[in-house]
Structure 1
Amino acid sequence: MRISTLTMYNQSVSSMNRQQTDFMKIGQQIASGKRIVNISDDPQAMTQAINIGQSKAVSSQFSDARVGVRNALSQEESVLNTVNDIYSRAKTLMVQASSDTLSDADRASVASEIRGLYESLIGLGNTRDGNGRYLFGGYQDDTAPFVRDVNGNVNYVGNPDVREQQVDGDRRMAVGHSGDKIFRSVHSSAGYLADAGLTNQGTMQFNGINIVDSNHPDFGQAYDIEFADNAGQMQYRVNGGAWTDYNDPTTITLGGVEVELEGAPATGDTLRVARGQDNNMDIFRTFEKALSVLDNAANTDAEKAQRVNTLRTAMREFDNGMDNVLTTRAEVGARLNELDALDTIGGNRTLAYEQALSDLVDLDYVEAASQYSVRMVGLQAAQKAFVDMKDMSLFKFL
C-alpha cells in the first residue's frame, strides 16, 4: 500500500494535537486543583459531587439559621435575668413597706421606686431584637406587645404563639417566648395564695397558707370564703356552703390547705384561696395593686389590714412570677444547649461532606505531577518525530 506524504503529515499533526490536548488537560487540573474540570471527565463522580454540594449548602443554611435563633435566645435570656432582678427588688421593697414602723412619707418613697421598676418592666416587655422586631410579641412582632389602656392599665396585645425556625433537617425550634407566657402566666406548680377583696371593710388579715395534705381529694381546688354577722356572731362559709362560727384568730382547713386568719372581718368581706394559676397571673396587675395601696395613706385599721393583705398577696405573686421566669430561663438554656449540640453535629456533617467531595473531585498532586511529566515527554516526542519525518525525501539520497 502506498503511503502518501499527505497521510504521514496528517497523522503526525493528529498525534501532536492529541498529545497537546492531554498535556493541556493535566495542566488545567494542576492549575485548578481539581481532578474533574469538565463534567465529561467523570459524569458519575460529578453527579455525586453536585448532590453532595447541594446537601452541604442546605447544612450551611441550617447553620446560619441557628446563629439567628441563638442571638434571639441569648438576648431573651439577658432580658429575663433583668426581669428576675426587678421582681426580687420589688418584693424586697414590699416587705419593707409592710412594716408598721414606716411612715406614709416613707411608703410614698418606696412606692416611687416600685413605680420605676414597673416602668422598667414595661420597657423590657417591649424589647426589640437586632432586626427591630418585638422580642415578646409572638407572631405580631411589628407592634409593641404591651400597651396602656385609657385607665393606665397595661394590657398584652401581642400574639400568644411564637415564630419557629428550622434549625436542622428534622428540628424546628421556637424563637423565644411570648409576653403572655412570661408576664401573664405562672408555672403549673405554683402554690396557693390568698387574695382579700379590695372592698373589704374589716380588719381581717391572713398570715400564712400551709399545705398539710397534698393527697387530699380536694387539693388544688379554689375556695371563696365570705363573712357575715349572724345574730351578733361573725361567721364564714366556703364556696356557698354551711355557715361556721369565726373566732379571732382562727385556722380554716380547706382540702389539705390551712389558712391562718386574725382580726375582725366585716359583713360582706371576702377571701379567695386558690392556686397561682387560678388567681391573678398578670405581673403588671400585681404592680398596679401594690401601688394602689402604697399611694394612699392608711388612716383606719381596715385600710391598714387591706394594705397588709394586698402586699402579702403581691409578694406571693412575685414569688410565682420569679418561678415562672426561672422556668422560662431553663427552657432558653436547654434550647441554647441543643443549638450547641446541633452545631457540633452540623460541623461533623459538613466535614464529612467536604471529605466526600475531596475524594470525588480533588486532584492527587503527586500523580498529576507524574502525568504532567509523561504528557510533556509525549508532546516533545511527537513534535520531534514530525520534524524528522517532514524532512525525509529520496532526493537527498540520489
Structure 2
Amino acid sequence: MRISTSQIYDQSLTAILNQQTKLANTQNQISTGKRILNPSDDPSGSVQILQLQRELSLSNQYVDNGVIAGNKLEREESTLDSATNLIQRVRELAVQGLNDSNSQSDRQAIATEMREINEQLLSLANTKDANGDYLFAGYATSTQPYTNLFGNYQGDEGQRNLKVGEGVLIATNDPANHLFEAPVTQTSVTPTLATSNAAVSIANDPSLLPPFAALTFDFSAGPPEEYTVTDGTNTATFAYTDGASVDLTTLDPAFPALDLVFTGAPSDADQFVIEKQSTQTTITPSLVTSSATVSITGDSGVLDPFTALTFDFSAGPPEEYNVSDGTNTATFAYTAGEAVDLSALNPNFPSLEVVFEGAPNDTDQFVIEKQAGTAQTIFKTIDNFATALEANNVGAGATPNNGDFLTNIDAVLTNILDGRAKVGGRLNAIDQQKEINETLAFNIETDLSAIKDLDYAEAISRLSRQSLSLQAAQQSFAQIKDLTLFNFI
C-alpha cells in the first residue's frame, strides 16, 4: 500500500495532539483535585454527583433550620423560666396576703408588688425573637399577643414549624393563650328548697375539693332536725344546727375540710348538691321554701373526685338532711349557722365549711358542683387578687373565694411548666436530629468524594506515562519525516 507523505504527517500530528490532550486533561485533574471535569468524562458518575450534592445541601439546610429553631426555643424557654419565677412569687404573696395577721397597709404593699409583677408578666407574654417576631402570637407573629392587662389574646392558635430532618417538624413557638390563660375556678351554691328560709354557705375555700359525682345534702332522709349527706359511696346523717359548720369527715375521714354552714329552717324536701364540673364550683338549690341558704367558704378544689355533692332535706325528718357525693350518703342533724362536718360522709373528704341558714323544708336540696369555667388570663387573675387585697376582701367569708385565686394561679403555672417541658423536649429532639444530620452529611460527603475526587497517585502515574507517550510520538515523527529518497541520490 502506498502511503503519501501528507498522510504520514497527518497521522503523526493527530497522534501528538491526542497525547497532548490527554496530558492536559490529566494536568487539569491534578490541579483541581477532581476526577470528573466534564459530564462527558463520566455520565453516570456525574448524575450521582448531582444527586448526592442535592442530598448534602438538604442535610445542611436541616442543620441550619435546627440552629434557628433552637435559638427560638431557647428564647422561649428562658422567657417561660422567668414567668415561672414571677408566678411563684405571686403565689407566695397571695398566701402571705391571706394571713389574717396582715394589716390593711401590709396587704396594700403586697398588692403593689403583685401589680408590678403583673406588668413584668405582660411584658414576657409579648416577648419578641431576634427577628422581631412575637414568640407567643401563633402564626400572627407581627401581632402583639396582649395589648394590656385586661385585653383578650390577639394572636391565633397556630404554631410555626421548621423542618429539621426528613419528616421531622419542630414547633418553634406556642400561643400565649395556652400558657398564660386557664379556665377559672368560681364557687357558687344553687339550692333546691321547699322553703324560702333555708340557706347554705361554704365558709372556707372549696377549690380544694376533689372532683366527685355529687355531694348531696338531703333534709328528707330523717327527722326535721337531721339531714343526710352522701358522696355517692358513703352516707352520713347530721343534726341540723342553724349557722353551724358541717364536718364532712364523718362522711369520709379522708374528705377535705370543707366548712359548710346551713342557715334558716330547711324543709324535709330541701336538698343541696355540691358538684364540680370542670373548674367551677356551684351550689344548686332545689328548695320548697326560700328561707334556706347554704354557703361554702372552703376550697372547692377538694371537690375534684366527685361530680356533685348533694344536700337533701327530703330524705328524713325536717330536722335532718342527707348529704351525698354520688357514692356515699350521710345523714346530718340540721343546725342553722353551724358548719357541716363532711367527714361523716367520707372519712377522706376535706373539711369544707358548709353552713346552712334559715329553716329548710323537707323537700329542700342543695347541690354543690363544679361547672366548666371560661379561660382567664393570669394578668386578670392577679389584678383581681390585688384588688381584693386593697379592699381587704380576703380571709374567711371573702367573695370571691380565696382558694379560687390560688387555684387559678396554679392552673396557669401548670400550663407554663407544661410548656417548658414541651420546649425542653423539642430542644432535645433538635440535638438528636442534629447528630443524625451530621452523620448523614458525613456519609454523603464520603460517597461524593469517592465519585468525584481524584486519586493523586494514579493520576501522577498516568501523567508520567502520558508525558512519555507524547515524547515518543514527537521523536518518532521527527525520525519519520526525514525518511526520503533524496537522501540516497
Q: Any conservation in 2 of the 1:194–1:272 contact (CA below 8 Å)?
A: no
Q: What amino acid does structure 1 have at the position aligned with 2:424?
A: G
* 1:261 matches 2:356: no
TM-superposition CA deviations, 1:276-322 (whole Å, max 9, x none)? x7465532221121011012245xxxx65354864432222222222
Q: Any conservation in 2 of the 1:226–1:236 contact (CA below 8 Å)?
A: no
TM-superposition CA deviations, 1:42-80 (whole Å, max 9, x none)? 101111111111122222222222222111111111111
Q: Any conservation in 1 of the 2:187–2:282 contact (CA below 8 Å)?
A: no
Q: Which runs of 5+ in 1 are unaligned?
A: 187-191
* 1:168 matches 2:165: yes
Q: Hey, which of these two has a bigger chunk of helix by percent?
A: 1
Give the corresponding residue for 1:224.
Answer: 282
For residues 217 and 373 of structure 1, what CA distance do their matches in structure 2 show? 99
For residues 257 and 221 of structure 1, what CA distance do their matches in structure 2 show? 20
* 1:364 matches 2:422: no
For residues 96 and 4 of structure 1, what CA distance do their matches in structure 2 show? 117
For residues 255 and 360 of structure 1, what CA distance do their matches in structure 2 show? 78
* 1:347 matches 2:435: no
Q: 1:273 to 1:328 in 2, by over 3 A?
A: farther
Q: Any conservation in 2 of the 1:193–1:273 contact (CA below 8 Å)?
A: no
Give the corresponding residue for 2:203.
Answer: 204
Q: Any conservation in 1 of the 2:208–2:403 contact (CA below 8 Å)?
A: no
CA RMSD of aligned residues (A): 3.6
Q: Any conservation in 1 of the 2:62–2:163 contact (CA below 8 Å)?
A: yes
Q: Any conservation in 2 of the 1:164–1:172 contact (CA below 8 Å)?
A: yes
For residues 153 and 342 of structure 2, what CA distance do their matches in structure 1 show? 36
For residues 85 and 47 of structure 2, what CA distance do their matches in structure 1 show? 58
* 1:248 matches 2:338: yes
Q: Which runs of 5+ in 2 are unaligned?
A: 190-200, 215-230, 234-274, 297-307, 314-320, 322-333, 359-365
Structure 1 residue 106: Cα displacement: 1.4
Structure 1 residue 265: Cα displacement: 7.3
Q: What percentage of residue pairs aligned between the two structures are identical?
A: 29
Q: Any conservation in 2 of the 1:203–1:305 contact (CA below 8 Å)?
A: no
* 1:296 matches 2:352: no
Greater shift in the superposed pair: 127-136 or 57-66: 57-66
Q: Any conservation in 1 of the 2:209–2:350 contact (CA below 8 Å)?
A: yes
Structure 1 residue 220: Cα displacement: 6.3
Give the corresponding residue for 2:478.
Answer: 387
Structure 1 residue 233: Cα displacement: 5.8
Structure 1 residue 263: Cα displacement: 8.0
Q: What amino acid does structure 1 have at the position aligned with 2:26?
A: I
For residues 255 and 156 of structure 1, what CA distance do their matches in structure 2 show? 42
Q: 1:264 to 1:15 in 2, by over 3 A?
A: same
SS in 2 for 1:102: coil
Give the corresponding residue for 1:135.
Answer: 135
Higher RCO (CA 8 Å, separation ≥ 6 residues): 1
Structure 1 residue 352: Cα displacement: 1.4
Structure 1 residue 5: Cα displacement: 1.8
Task: From 315, 320, 324, give the equivalent of 2:406.
Answer: 315
Q: 1:390 to 1:123 in 2, by over 3 A?
A: same
**TM-score of the two chains, using structure 2 as the length reference:** 0.69
Q: Any conservation in 2 of the 1:193–1:209 contact (CA below 8 Å)?
A: no
Give the corresponding residue for 1:106.
Answer: 106
For residues 92 and 123 of structure 1, what CA distance do their matches in structure 2 show? 21
For residues 162 and 353 of structure 1, what CA distance do their matches in structure 2 show? 32
Give the corresponding residue for 1:377.
Answer: 468
Q: Hey, which of these two has a bigger chunk of strand by percent?
A: 2
Matches within 5 A, 1:144-163: 144-148=144-148, 153-163=150-160
Q: 1:257 to 1:229 in 2, by over 3 A?
A: farther
Q: 1:28 to 1:266 in 2, by over 3 A?
A: farther
SS in 2 for 1:28: helix
